Structure 1
Amino acid sequence: MILRIDIDEGEASIEEVADGPVGDILARCQETPEGYRYGVGKRSSEPPELGHLRVVAEAVMEHRQIKQLENGTVIVEVNGVRVSKAKPVLRELAIALGISRLNGNGGTQNTRQLGADIIAALTP
Structure 2
Amino acid sequence: MRGRGDVGRRRRRRKVIRRVPRLPTMFQCPHCGAQALLIDIRTDRRSKKRIAQIRCGSCGLHYEMDLTDNPIADKAWVYGKFIDLYYAGEIKVEEAEEEEKEVEESEEGEEGGGLPEEEEW
Task: Provide TM-score, normalisation by structure 1.
Answer: 0.28
Higher-Rg structure is 2
Task: Provide TM-score, normalisation by structure 2.
Answer: 0.29
Higher strand proportion (structure 1 or 2)? 1
